[in-house]
Amino acid sequence: MRNVGVVDYLGLTSALSNHLSDIAPEYTNILVDEAQDFGTTELGVVRRLVPSGLNDIFLCGDIAQTILPKHRLIAEAGLSLVTRERIRQNYRNSREILRAAYDVLKNNLHEEIIGDEDLEILDPKFANFSGPIPMALAANTLEEEIAYAYKYAQTRLSDTAKSACIAFAGFSARDVAMFAEKYGVSALDGTYNPTLVPIVFCDLEQTKGYEFDTLIIIQCADGVLPPRDAPKEEEFRTSCKLYVAMTRARKELILSFHGAISSWIKAVSTTIGTGFWNEFEVLDPQLMRGIPDRLPECEPTRELEDTGGLTGREFIYTSQAIGLSSDAQDKLIEVVDGRGLRAAGTGARLKWPDMKSFFEDLRASRRSDRIIGSTVADELRRLTS
């Protein structure tokens, strides 16, 4: 990420850690919500922002809802004499919803995580009301799933539900946000107000921090939950996201799928019922509006001729430049400048207007090596082989 000039939140925190000694106390007390997503470094920053004292720092969180993979040792962050309190009562979810989510998570955690002293999954017996059993409902296609879910959400909102959410497993937040426009529905974000926007679309992760009377999770299918391309040892992170999403449902939870049901859902058939969508809702053909497009996380692979018109600076942001050394990237920016330059008299190129002309010269001879260096030239030639 550093090589292509971008940074994420972890990178910002890492950079800040180089200046911990410069941070002085500015507050009398600090309360940290969603503390499960704070790593050792972030907690170390918090420690320095408030002087040590009675009730100086209050951390509130649920380790079972951890989304971000971070190293976290409270003692290493400088927090000592920690007193732990457990909130036993659950006021959000029905007993049935909590039991189903509890079973899904417990079945998919590694033993060392279950043994973590910080991890406590709230027992379903602490829920203070009951409701319908969560259902896993099958449709023929993903498009049908979405149409059924939307119609069902409308039905529930016309009855007793005050809010409804349709969460899409296997899609990113921006995939869902673009698709929501086809239904004229808002995508869940920080501006959500259930009194003004009774129904929303979102991905699994965006459900965190909210609650809905009715929640429907789309595409709870084999290969999606767990993701077929995820390492086995990382599957628990997705199961944590699923757990969080399931516990956003207050009164009613539906897990929708087509094809083979997720093995995670199949394994807890004693707490999740199964059936078909057409037993619960009528399919409206006008609601068949396709499925979300999966937007690539990075630029799709292009052939050399597709990148031929780019400058060196533009080229280093393509997938073809992944893995290039910093020296090679710097040289491309310098010599493929979009204008080009030739030596007086000989007409030999000193700079190139685009990548196409640069690669052509690179393949034709080694005359360019004296300008960009033989090591960099050989590295770049490998891109053309």
Does the structure show a pLDDT above 90 at 128? no
Residue 258 has pLDDT above 70, yes or no: yes
pLDDT of residue 323: 84
| Amino acid 252: pLDDT | 97
Task: Using the predicted structure, report yes or no on whether residue 282 has a pLDDT greater than 90.
Answer: yes
Architecture of domain 95-287: 3-Layer(aba) Sandwich (3.40)
Q: What is the pLDDT of residue 68?
A: 53
What is the distance between the alpha carbons of residues 127 and 86, in angstroms, rounded to a whole number? Answer: 15
Give 64's pLDDT tier (boundaries 50, 70, 90).
low
* Half-sphere exposure (Cβ direction) of 282: Cα atoms closer than 13 Å: 3
Predicted local confidence at residue 117, as pLDDT: 47
> What does pLDDT average to over the chain?
86
HSE at residue 204, side-chain half, CA atoms within 13 A, is: 24
Flag whether pLDDT at 352 surpasses 90: yes
Average pLDDT over residues 28-46: 89
- List the chain domain ranges: 2-65, 95-287, 304-384
DSSP-derived 3-state class of residue 270:
coil
Give me the amino acid identity at 168: F
Most confident of 29-43, 106-120, 164-178: 164-178
Give yes or no for a contact between 218 and 149, defined as CB atoms under 8 angstroms apart.
yes
What's the whole-model pTM score?
0.62
Residue 114 pLDDT exceeds 70:
no
pLDDT in tens, 190-249: 777 877 889 999 999 999 888 999 999 999 999 999 998 778 777 888 888 899 899 999
In degrees and rounded to multiples of 5, residue 81 shows phi and psi of: 55, 45
Averaged pLDDT for residues 129-156? 96
Q: Which of 66-75, 235-244, 272-281 has the lowest mean pLDDT?
A: 66-75
Mean pLDDT throughout 274-301? 84
Q: How confident is the model at residue 119 (pLDDT cuts 50, 70, 90)?
A: very low
Give the CB-side neighbour count of residue 160, counting CA atoms within 13 A: 4
For a pLDDT cut of 90, what percent of the chain falls above it?
Answer: 52
Flag whether pLDDT at 303 surpasses 50. Answer: no
- Number of Cβ atoms within 10 Å of the Cβ of 354: 21
